[in-house]
Structure 1
Amino acid sequence: MTVEEIHGVRVLTVPGQGPAIRGGADALDLIAASFEEQAEFVVIPVERLDPAFFTLSNGLAGEFLQKLVNYRLRVAIVGDVSAHVEGSNALRDFVRESNRRKQNWFLASRDELRERLASEVAVSPEA
């Protein structure tokens, strides 16, 4: 995993290659790594997520993301999720609602992540 600072936010990035991220136990591993690196944001490439993550009815996505939120970590799933949302209104709505908030984002690219974090800095009362 790599760590970098983007617009004042310490970001831990999961590598694109490796075992599939499946659920709660994997979330705990990311929480531990984030605490060790003092990161406040975790970036996960979409290709690292188990395909079952995108079936909302099984609860994997909810369990995974909630664990990270409980530890005040923000998450960006980065990559093309269009194949997963196609034909799933629930998932499409989940992605849309997530992107309206600050905690969990589904973004097409790291450039989009940089833009979103930059826009937060621009509107921050501390900026």
Structure 2
Amino acid sequence: MYIESHIINNIQIAEITSEEILIEKEEDGLDLLGNLYYQGFDRIIVYEKNIAPAFFDLKNGMAGEILQKFSNYRVRLAIVGDFSAYTGKSITDFMYESNQGKQVNFLKSLEEALGKLAID
């Protein structure tokens, strides 16, 4: 796992890159949150390819548990990737609704994510 720090508008944003799945279960998401929060990041970019497909199956509750922790700590999260494989109504509605706010966003590019997270 590699953490690249971007500073835009005096806001520090962590971009997480890896060749491996980083979030396979709830604990992985919480560990990532804790690690980055401890390092002073409150805005994080993670790539969809680094998250297990189970995260996007809302029935198992994994996404809800992880994202609730991000919300509790007021850490904003952008998940970047190609979400075209996730066609179920629940997940597409969830991503749409998330994108209406600031807390969690599902975006197509790093540039979009940086732009979204660089705004208070």
TM-score, with length taken from structure 2? 0.88
Q: Percent identity?
A: 36
Per the alignment, residue 3 of structure 1 pairs with 5
Over the residues paired in the alignment, what is the CA RMSD in angstroms? 1.6
CA distance in 2, matches of 1:28, 1:114: 22
Answer whether contact 2:99 2:105 (CA < 8 A) is retained: yes
* Residue 114 (structure 2) pairs with residue 107 (structure 1): no
Q: Which has the higher helix share?
A: 1
Unaligned runs of 5+ in 2: none
2:92 aligned partner:
92
Partner of 1:77: 79
Match of 1:49 among 43, 47, 51: 51
Structure 1 residue runs of 5 or longer lacking an equivalent are 122-127
Secondary structure of the residue aligned to 1:14 is strand
Q: 2:21 aligns with which of 11, 19, 23?
A: 19
Match of 1:35 in 2: 37
Counterpart contact for 2:43–2:75, Cα < 8 Å: yes
CA distance in 2, matches of 1:109, 1:38: 24
Q: TM-score, normalised by structure 1?
A: 0.83
CA contact (8 A) 2:22 2:28 kept: no
More strand by share: 2
